[in-house]
C-alpha cells in the first residue's frame, strides 16, 4: 500500500524535492516540499507562486518529535506502547465483540474533511462493508453541511464555489457573508485584491471588522446569528422597489412568490432591531446590490454555522437568484469538497449518490461486488453519533483525520461520553485530545506521506504527491484500513496495493453520478491538467462552471425556497448578556493538532485570546493582557484579554484551535439544524468577568491554561 513519488530534482542543499499541494485549507496551493522540510511555493493556477504562513511552515511537521512511532493500547487505564500485531488484534477484537453483543449499528466511523479522496472513499466503504454500520460521518458536518444542503435544495448540486478562482475579479460587486478569508483562506485574498483594484465593490457581513472587511465598500457589523434576518430583508426591500431581475427569474427559476411571501414582514426597521444594524445600512446594501451589473454572493461559516444554517444559506441564495447574480460558498477544510463526494457522510455514497435511491445503491453495489441489500441505510450525522455514544447506543468507534472532542460543541460533555465508551480506536500521526481517550491509537500518516487526490474549493481535482513514507513505527492510513479489514474478515473488499488503485475504483463508483470523477484519470492529474468535476469522459475537459448551462434539477431551474425567520437557539439575557462567536486565526488550523506543534506558528499566536471591545472591557474592569472568565450555560473558561475596537460591543470572539480547558467549544450550544445536523457554533449567550483567583498561564504548544479554581 506504500507508493513513493519520483524525486523530481536535487536542489543545492542536496535534499530531494517533490511537487505537491498544501495539506491545510481548501485552496490546496501548489508547493515544492523537500525531504528536510523546506517548502517553496510553485507557480500554479491556484496560488500563482504564493504560499501563506501555514503552507510555508508545514514542512516542520516532517520528522517532528511529537510524531507517534508506535501503537498505543490502554492497559489498566493507561495508554502503553504495543506492537502493531497486538494493537490491530485489540482493535479488531473490540469491534467484533461489540457487533456480536449489540449488533453492527453499535459501531461507528468518524472521519475528516482533510483526508484525501482515496482515504475518504475507503473510510466510507470500511464502515458499510467491514463494520456493516450505517453510522459514518465526518467533521465536515460541522463545516459544510448547511451550505451543501442549501445548494442541493436550490440548485440540485453542491459544489462550493462552483466557478474558477480566476472568475472572481470579473464581478463588479461581491457580497461576502461570514468569511474572514484573509485568515481562513489567505491565498484567496490576491483574487479579491485584484478585483478591488479593477473596481469591484464589496459588502462584507461580519460582527467584526476583520482584515477581510478592509475590502468593504460597506461593512455590515451585524449581531452573531442574524444573517437570516438581514438576507430576508434585502430580498424584501429589492422586491418592493422592483429591482429584481425578472427576466432571469422567469427563464431560470421557480418559486419566487412563496419566497417573497415568507419575507413579507422583513422591513429594514424590523431587521435593524434584530441585527443591531441601522435601517440605513440595510438600505445601503440593497442599493449596492441593485446597482450591480454582475454580482456574486459568497457565504462562509460565519453565516451558516448555526441551527438555522440551511435557511440562512438559502436566504442568500434566494437573494442571488432574485438579482440574477451568482452564488457560491467557501469551503474551509483541505478536502471539505471532496470527502463527502466520496461517501464519507451519513446519507451519501460516492459521487453524491443517495443511500435512499435504489439506482444509486445498485450502481455502487456493482462496483463493490455486493448486492444492494448489503448496503446499510442512512445513519447518524456527526454530532448525532456522539449523542448515541452518550446514550450507550454506540459502543465502538473508529476515528481517522478528526479530533471530535475539542471540535464539537459542549465538548466537556463529548469528552466524558468518549471516555466512557467501550471501544475507541484512533488513527492519527499525533496524540490528539481525542486519541488520549482511546483504547487503541494507531500511528498514521501525514498528508505528504501518501499519494492521493483532493478536490479544492473550486471543484478542481489535484494530485498531492508524497515526499516520503511514514517514519519507522508509523504506517500509511490506507494500509491500516486494509489491515483492519483483513482482521475483521472483509479483506476481499480491500485488495489495494497503492492509492492509485483506490482512485481508479472511486472513479468507477462515481461514474454517471452528480459528482462524476470517471473522466479525471490519474494520468491527467500527473500531467498537470486542470480538471473540474463532473467529468464523465477522459476526452472531456471537465466542468469549471456547472450552472453555466442550467441547473441540475428535474425541471432545469433553480428553486427559490421560503426561509421564514427564526431566532438563534440561545439569545443573551440578564444572566448571560453577551454574544460569543468563534472562528479561526491565520496562524492555526482546525483544532490545532498540527499547527500548535510548529514553533514559528505558536510563537506568533501562542494562546487563544479573548477579543472584546475596549468599552465593554473597561465597563467590566478588564485590563488588556489580563485574564477574564467567560461563562455560558454549559461551561466556563479563562482567556487573556485582547482589546479590539473593531468588534461589536455586545460580542466576544475566541478562536477554536485549542484543546482541553482552552477549547472554546466547551461553551458552545449543541443545538442542531434539523435539516443537516449543523451545530450552533457561531452564537452563544455568555457572561464575562475578570479572573480574580490565583492562576497559572502556560503558552507552550503542548500546555494548557490552568484556571482550576473556577
Question: Could you tell me the CA-to-CA distances from 446 to 15, 471, 503 in Å, in that order?
Answer: 19, 10, 19
| Amino acid 12: pLDDT | 42
CB atoms within 10 A of CB 615: 11
Q: So what's the pLDDT on residue 14?
A: 52
The span from the CA of 424 to the CA of 430, in Å, is: 16
What is the model's pLDDT at position 594?
95
Question: Residue 13 pLDDT > 60, yes or no?
Answer: no
The average pLDDT across 353-369 equals: 97
pLDDT at 512 exceeding the cut of 90: yes
Tell me how far CA of residue 210 lies from CA of 104, 173, 204, 482, 664, in angstroms.
Answer: 47, 19, 9, 45, 20
- Mean pLDDT over the full length of the chain: 94
Task: Tell me the angle at which helices 117-125 and 499-510 cross, rounded to the nearest 10 degrees.
Answer: 70
Residue 564 contacts residue 668 (beta carbons within 8 Å):
no
Closest by CA to 184, choosing from 52, 56, 313, 22, is: 52
* pLDDT recorded at residue 16: 77
H/E element, 385: helix 382-391
Tens digit of each residue's pLDDT (9 = 90 or more) over 587-612: 999 999 999 999 999 999 999 999 99
What percent of the chain lies above the pLDDT cut of 70?
95
HSE at residue 194, side-chain half, CA atoms within 13 A, is 13
Task: With H, G, I as helix, E, B as strand and everything else as coil, classify residue 612.
Answer: strand
What's the pLDDT score for residue 495? 95
Name the band, by pLDDT with cuts 50, 70 and 90, for residue 585: very high
DSSP label at residue 556:
S
Residue 499 near residue 425, CB atoms below 8 Å:
no
Q: Per-residue pLDDT for 699 more than 90?
A: no
Res 66: pLDDT: 97
Is the pLDDT assigned to residue 3 strictly greater than 60?
no
Predicted local distance difference test score (pLDDT) of residue 706: 39
Angstrom distance (rounded) from CA 250 to CA 241: 18
Angle subtended at Cα 365 by Cα 363 and Cα 367, rounded to the nearest 5 degrees: 75
Residues 6+ apart with CB under 8 A from 203: 173, 174, 175, 176, 216, 217, 218, 219, 220, 285, 288, 289
Other Cβ atoms less than 10 A from the Cβ of 365: the count is 17
| Alpha carbons 145 and 142: distance in angstroms, whole number | 7
pLDDT tens for each residue of 635-669:
999 999 999 999 999 999 999 999 999 999 999 99
Q: Are 41 and 414 in contact (CB under 8 A)?
A: no
CA distance 629 to 437: 27
Q: Specify the DSSP class assigned to residue 217.
A: S
Beta strands in 311-389 (DSSP E): 326-329, 348-349, 353-354
Q: Is the pLDDT of residue 431 over 60?
A: yes
Q: Which three cell numbers stand for residue 54?
A: 501555514
> Distances from the Cα of 123 to the Cαs of 279, 448, 592, in angstroms?
50, 19, 23
Examine the pLDDT at 697 and tell me if it is beyond 50.
no
Q: Give the C-alpha separation, 76 to 80, whole Å.
A: 9
Q: Looking only at Cα atoms, what is the longest distance across the chain?
A: 71
Where do the domains of the chain lie, and which CATH numbers do they carry? 94-142+336-419+444-473+491-526 (3.40.50.740), 145-329 (3.40.228.10), 578-690 (2.40.40.20)
The DSSP-derived string for 36-95 is TS-EEE---TTTTT---HHHHHGGGGTT-TT---S-EEEETTEEEE--HHHHHHHHHHHH
What does the pLDDT read at residue 332? 85
Strand partners, 248: none
Q: Are 292 and 172 in contact (CB under 8 A)?
A: yes
- Alpha carbon distance 386, 475 (integer Å): 27
pTM of the model: 0.94
Please give the average per-residue pLDDT across 94-112, as a whole number.
98
What integer is the mean pLDDT of 518-538?
Answer: 96
Name which of 107, 102, 103, 110 is nearest 91 in CA terms: 107
pLDDT digits (tens, 9 = 90+) for 216-227: 999 999 999 999
Report, as an integer, the average pLDDT of 573-587: 97
Residue 393 has pLDDT above 80, yes or no: yes
Q: What angle do CA 61, 65, 70 make, to 5 degrees?
A: 105
Amino acid at each position: 500500500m506504500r507508493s513513493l513519488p519520483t524525486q523530481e530534482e536535487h536542489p543545492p542543499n542536496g535534499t530531494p524535492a517533490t511537487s505537491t499541494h498544501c495539506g491545510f485549507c481548501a485552496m490546496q496551493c501548489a508547493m515544492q516540499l523537500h525531504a528536510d522540510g523546506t517548502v517553496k511555493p510553485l507557480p500554479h493556477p491556484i496560488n500563482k507562486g504564493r504560499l501563506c504562513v501555514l503552507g510555508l511552515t508545514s514542512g516542520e511537521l516532517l520528522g517532528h518529535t511529537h510524531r507517534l512511532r508506535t501503537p498505543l493500547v490502554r492497559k489498566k487505564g493507561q495508554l502503553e506502547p504495543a506492537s502493531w500485531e497486538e494493537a490491530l488484534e485489540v482493535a479488531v477484537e473490540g469491534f467484533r465483540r461489540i457487533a456480536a453483543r449489540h449488533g453492527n449499528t453499535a459501531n461507528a466511523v468518524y472521519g475528516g474533511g482533510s483526508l484525501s479522496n482515496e482515504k475518504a472513499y475507503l473510510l466510507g466503504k470500511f464502515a458499510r462493508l467491514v463494520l456493516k454500520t450505517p453510522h459514518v460521518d465526518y467533521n465536515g458536518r460541522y463545516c459544510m453541511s448547511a451550505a451543501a444542503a442549501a445548494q442541493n435544495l436550490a440548485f440540485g448540486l453542491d459544489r462550493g464555489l462552483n466557478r474558477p478562482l480566476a472568475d472572481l475579479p470579473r464581478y463588479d460587486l461581491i457580497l461576502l457573508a461570514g468569511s474572514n478569508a484573509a485568515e481562513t483562506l489567505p491565498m484567496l485574498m490576491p483574487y479579491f485584491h485584484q478585483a478591488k483594484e479593477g473596481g469591484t465593490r464589496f459588502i462584507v457581513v461580519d460582527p467584526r471588522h476583520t482584515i477581510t472587511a478592509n475590502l468593504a465598500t460597506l461593512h455590515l457589523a451585524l449581531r452573531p446569528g442574524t444573517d437570516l434576518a438581514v438576507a430576508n430583508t434585502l430580498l424584501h426591500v429589492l422586491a418592493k422597489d422592483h429591482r429584481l431581475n425578472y427576466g432571469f427569474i422567469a427563464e431560470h427559476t421557480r418559486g419566487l412568490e412563496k419566497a417573497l411571501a415568507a419575507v413579507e414582514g422583513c422591513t429594514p426597521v424590523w431587521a435593524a432591531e434584530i441585527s443591531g444594524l441601522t435601517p440605513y445600512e440595510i438600505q445601503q446594501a440593497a442599493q449596492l446590490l441593485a446597482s450591480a451589473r454582475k454580482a456574486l454572493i459568497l457565504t462562509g461559516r460565519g453565516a451558516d454555522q448555526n441551527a438555522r444554517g440551511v435557511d440562512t444559506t438559502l436566504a442568500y441564495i434566494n437573494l442571488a437568484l432574485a438579482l440574477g447574480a451568482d452564488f457560491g460558498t467557501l469551503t474551509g477544510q483541505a478536502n471539505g469538497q471532496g470527502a463527502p463526494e466520496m461517501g464519507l457522510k451519513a446519507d451519501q455514497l460516492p459521487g453524491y449518490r443517495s443511500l435512499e435511491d435504489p439506482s444509486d445503491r445498485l450502481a455502487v453495489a456493482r462496483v463493490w461486488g455486493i448486492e444492494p441489500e448489503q448496503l446499510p441505510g442512512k445513519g447518524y450525522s456527526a454530532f448525532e453519533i456522539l449523542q448515541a455514544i452518550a446514550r450507550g447506543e454506540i459502543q465502538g468507534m473508529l476515528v481517522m483525520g478528526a479530533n471530535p472532542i475539542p471540535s464539537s460543541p459542549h465538548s466537556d460533555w463529548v469528552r466524558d461520553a468518549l471516555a466512557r465508551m467501550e471501544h475507541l480506536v484512533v488513527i492519527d500521526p499525533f496524540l490528539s485530545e481525542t486519541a488520549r481517550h482511546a483504547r487503541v491509537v494507531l500511528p498514521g500518516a501525514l498528508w505528504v506521506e501518501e499519494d492521493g487526490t483532493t478536490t479544492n474549493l473550486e471543484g478542481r481535482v489535484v494530485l498531492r504527491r508524497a515526499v516520503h513514507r511514514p517514519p519507522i513505527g508509523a504506517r500509511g492510513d490506507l494500509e491500516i484500513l486494509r489491515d483492519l479489514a483483513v482482521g475483521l474478515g472483509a479483506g476481499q473488499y480491500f485488495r489495494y496495493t497503492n492509492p492509485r488503485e483506490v482512485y481508479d475504483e472511486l472513479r468507477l463508483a462515481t461514474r454517471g453520478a452528480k459528482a462524476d470523477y470517471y473522466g479525471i484519470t490519474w494520468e491527467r492529474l500527473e500531467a498537470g491538467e486542470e480538471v473540474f468535476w463532473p467529468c464523465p469522459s477522459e476526452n472531456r475537459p471537465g466542468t469549471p462552471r456547472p450552472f453555466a448551462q442550467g441547473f441540475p434539477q428535474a425541471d432545469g431551474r433553480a428553486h427559490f425556497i421560503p426561509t421564514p425567520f427564526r431566532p438563534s437557539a440561545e439569545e443573551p439575557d440578564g444572566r448571560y448578556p453577551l454574544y460569543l462567536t468563534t472562528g479561526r486565526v491565520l496562524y492555526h488550523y482546525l483544532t490545532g493538532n498540527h499547527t500548535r506543534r510548529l514553533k514559528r506558528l505558536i510563537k506568533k499566536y501562542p494562546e487563544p485570546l479573548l477579543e472584546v471591545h475596549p468599552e465593554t472591557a473597561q465597563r467590566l474592569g478588564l485590563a488588556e493582557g489580563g485574564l477574564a472568565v467567560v461563562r455560558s450555560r454549559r461551561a466556563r473558561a479563562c482567556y487573556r484579554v485582547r482589546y479590539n475596537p473593531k468588534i461589536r460591543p455586545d460580542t466576544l470572539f475566541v478562536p477554536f484551535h485549542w484543546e482541553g480547558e482552552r477549547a472554546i467549544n466547551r461553551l458552545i450550544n449543541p443545538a442542531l439544524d434539523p435539516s443537516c445536523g449543523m451545530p450552533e457554533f457561531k452564537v452563544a449567550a455568555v457572561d464575562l468577568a475578570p479572573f480574580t483567583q490565583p492562576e497559572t498561564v502556560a503558552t507552550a504548544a503542548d500546555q494548557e491554561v490552568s484556571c482550576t479554581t473556577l
